[in-house]
Amino acid sequence: MYARYTQTIHHDDTGIPVREAPGYGRPHLSGDAVRAFLGGSLGFWLSSQAAVTDDETIIYRQTNGHSAITFTPDRDSGVIITHPERYITADAYRVTGHGRLPQVWTQAAVREAVAEATRPGPIDWPDGWALLMPDGSVRFAPRGFPWKSADVYIAEPTAPPQAWGPRCGTCGWYETEHDPARGWGRCSSFQPPTDT
């Protein structure tokens, strides 16, 4: 799913929009909100119908006699990453974030950071988020919602270095992959330089 959708409600026989904001919601929704709505509606109403068109638009209606609701994706907003192994495929990434100078991380390090940022909490909902952007970069944060968090990390595909350098004797990750500000499951024995 995409990070943002525009929703419209229309008569299912003509497709002409009659209002931009259905009574239960807003004209623009996050992908998580669309997923939650569809999950709740399809699970509760046995007669609910949902389909995805070839252009990735989602069409939902409760029954044949109800008006259809259309969720149109904003492709520039990025795709929500739910399975890092499917989306994070470059050999290396140039990672910036949280006031750190850019560091080069392996694919495994970026996957683990994204998996940690999106790990479900005690109520089965992640504290953070991760998006695959149209340019192939990955944006992720350990908490908050897309575009509202100052603690955003950006991982851009890059060529791997000739040599990765030494591994940390404490955690086993490369020294360039340490980020004491967040940890990402790694030790904080190595302090990378900051941009201040």
Mention every residue, 6+ apart, whose C-beta is less than 8 A from residue 155: 88, 93, 94, 95, 105, 110, 137, 138, 139, 140
pLDDT for position 23:
46
pLDDT for position 21:
42
C-alpha–C-alpha distance, residues 136 and 166, integer Å: 28
pLDDT, one tens digit for every residue, the chain (196 residues):
999 999 887 654 555 444 444 445 567 888 888 988 888 888 776 778 888 999 999 998 887 777 788 899 999 999 999 899 999 999 999 998 766 678 899 999 999 989 988 887 666 566 788 999 999 999 998 876 665 666 788 999 999 999 888 888 887 888 778 775 666 656 755 555 555 5
**Which of 171, 84, 181, 77 has its CA nearest to residue 133?**
77
Mention every residue, 6+ apart, whose C-beta is less than 8 A from residue 15: 68
pLDDT for position 165:
84
